Amino acid sequence: MNFPTSTRIHPWLGLLMAACLAVTGCANTGSSMTGSQGTVDPRLTSGNDAKFFTTSGFQACAIAASAGILACMLSNSGNKAACSIIAGVGACGVAMGANYYLDQRRAKYADTTERLNAMTTEVQGETAKVAQRSDTLQRVINDDKQQIASIQQSMKAKTLDKAKAQRDIANIDQNIGLMRKDLTNMKKRVTEYQQVAKLERDGGASQAEVQKVEAEITKMNTKVASLQQEVDGLYSQRSAITLG
């Protein structure tokens, strides 16, 4: 079927809508080293920080774009498809890759200094999100470590309730799985920002201005690396337990 030019759906819009449906229609329950299904700690899936890094780049793009797309569809705009494309694609940011991000920012900021300043501010905001998410994960990690220590003590005292311990460990496995997913997406963001900075440097941008951006990216990467160590520490403690 051929649609009139003004109402034809742009490929980007179709992909974004498909991703939105995938995000809202699919559930990922994860897996457990115990072979039993566990439950993710609700602190990891609720709150303002839960949505920042739990989704992949394309899913994050779709979620961020959905509100803008809906607003366009409900508006009185004469070209709703074009409005949706602008609202949707513009919301994706670095989630869709370095080249995409740079192309979008070049279209918005013709002046290199303005563009790099905007990127610096954005990276600072992402770093703040990493810090906020890290606080939540750290609270869960601390509680999980205490739970593991309690199980180990019960095993030594031969007072272990094996069924309960299996459930507790399955829950911890679920938490670790989600934390690792967060870390994967965080590291992906850092990598994309690093690539954008390199593209700007190779494109002739002021070295001093690029270094300013890179300094902020390094701060973000340091926080992600610190969180990685905490999650790895929890995984090591959990791996030491074999319930049989």
pLDDT, tens digit (0-9, with 9 covering 90-100), for 51-71: 778 766 666 666 666 655 555
For tokens 């070209």, name the residue. 79
Mean of pLDDT values over 187-212: 95
DSSP assignment of 172-188, as one string? HHHHHHHHHHHHHHHHH
CB atoms within 10 A of CB 161: 11
pLDDT, tens digit (0-9, with 9 covering 90-100), for 125-172: 999 999 999 999 999 999 999 999 999 999 999 999 999 999 999 999
Residue 63 pLDDT:
63
Tell me the two tokens of residue 206.
């002021």
Backbone angles phi, psi at 154, to 5 degrees: -65, -35
Sign (positive/negative) of CA torsion 28, 31, 36, 39?
A: negative
Tell me the two tokens of residue 154.
């019960």
DSSP element (H, E) containing 209: helix 207-239
pLDDT at 16 over 60: no
C-alpha count within 13 angstroms, C-beta hemisphere, residue 28: 13
Q: Is 117 helix (H, G, I), strand (E, B) or coil?
A: helix
- What 8-state DSSP symbol labels residue 26? -
CB atoms within 10 A of CB 125: 12
Residue 9 pLDDT:
39
Residues 6+ apart with CB under 8 A from 202: none
Map out the domains of the chain as residue ranges: 11-239
- Please give the model's pTM, rounded to 2 decimal places: 0.78
Residue 89 pLDDT:
52
